[in-house]
């Protein structure tokens, strides 16, 4: 049965490639696609119905007969959350491929300590990355002692866990990035916003940059103020007009 299904799918794809785009077949496929989406959305009147394998097969098959513009006009079931989940899956896959050799994590450590004195200790978790032979050799050469965190105890890394959680909640879960360079630029924008523009309750309503000696920003008059966007419009803060 499985072989027959695969054969039918290949036959359908072959016909879709041979037939020209547009015309009657595009109109019929668009009509079928919209009607099938309506059936899915009305299924038990759920706000976000789950797609079955058959649903994905039918929807995907119909798109073979549509032009790119037709696919955009019929994509009614795609939600932002779906795109972010798909993006997260790609990021996780890219992460595994990027660090499969472990060379990049050594490069990042060398870049991080290049402009400051070497630390005596370095705290790491139990990720397989930190068992890579080049990583261990790098620590021996730099004379850095590795201290392992406690398994399944986030409080053993309280500051790092808080920082990573903040970055994930406020940036990575809210904004797409396409490659390492794009991610670096967006994280740098968030770093500037977090340290130089955003006030912190734990610092008495001031910013980390002020604690480091920077001057305080001009207070905004509640009767005359404007909004300044940061991180490509992800955040906005009031400023003096």
Question: Average pLDDT of the chain?
Answer: 76
Examine the pLDDT at 1 and tell me if it is beyond 60: no
What whole-number percentage of the chain has pLDDT above 70? 63
- What's the whole-number mean pLDDT along residues 226-237? 87
| For residues 43-68, average pLDDT | 66
Both tokens of 179, joined, read 């490659």
Nearest to 132 by CA among 98, 106, 108: 106
Q: Which phi and psi (to 5°) does residue 83 adopt? A: -65, -40
CA angle 140, 145, 146 (to 5 degrees): 105
CB 111 within 8 A of CB 105: no
The answer to whether residues 160 and 167 touch, using CB atoms and an 8 Å cutoff, is no
Pairing of strands 121-124, 225-230: unpaired
What length does the chain have? Answer: 241
- pLDDT tens digits, 102-130: 677 888 888 888 888 888 998 888 887 78
Tokens 């924008």 -> residue:
189
Q: What is the pLDDT of residues 130-184, one digit of tens each?
A: 888 888 988 999 899 998 888 888 788 888 888 888 988 888 888 887 777 888 8
Six-digit token string for 125: 């978790």
Q: What gap in Å lies between CA 230 and CA 103, rounded to an integer?
A: 33
| Three-state secondary structure of 2-57 | HHHHHHHHHHHHHHHHHCCCCHHHHHHHHHHHHHHHHHHHCHHHCCCCCCCHHHHH
Buried b (16+ CB within 10 A) or exposed e, 80-93: eeeeeeebeeeeee
| C-alpha distance from residue 230 to each of 118, 134, 184, 188 (Å) | 33, 39, 16, 11
């Amino acid at each position: 049965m499985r072989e027959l299904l695969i054969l039918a799918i290949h036959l359908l794809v072959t016909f879709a490639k041979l037939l020209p785009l547009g015309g009657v077949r595009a109109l019929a496929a668009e009509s079928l696609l919209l009607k099938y989406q309506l059936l899915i959305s009305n299924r038990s009147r759920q706000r976000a119905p789950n797609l079955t394998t058959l649903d994905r097969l039918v929807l995907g098959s119909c798109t073979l007969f549509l032009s790119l513009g037709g696919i955009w006009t019929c994509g009614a079931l795609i939600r932002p959350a779906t795109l972010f989940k798909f993006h997260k899956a790609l990021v996780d896959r890219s992460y595994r491929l990027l660090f499969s050799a472990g060379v990049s994590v050594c490069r990042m450590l060398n870049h991080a300590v290049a402009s400051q004195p070497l630390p005596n200790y370095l705290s790491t978790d139990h990720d397989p990355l930190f068992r890579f032979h080049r990583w261990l050799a790098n620590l021996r050469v730099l004379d850095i002692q590795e201290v392992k965190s406690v398994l399944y105890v986030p409080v053993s890394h309280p500051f790092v866990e808080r920082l990573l959680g903040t970055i994930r909640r406020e940036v990575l879960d809210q904004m797409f990035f396409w490659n390492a360079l794009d991610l670096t630029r967006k994280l740098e924008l968030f770093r500037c916003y977090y340290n130089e523009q955003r006030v912190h309750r734990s610092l008495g309503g001031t910013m980390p940059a002020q604690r480091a000696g920077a001057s305080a920003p001009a207070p905004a008059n509640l009767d005359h103020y404007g909004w300044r966007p940061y991180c490509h419009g992800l955040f906005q803060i009031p400023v003096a007009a």
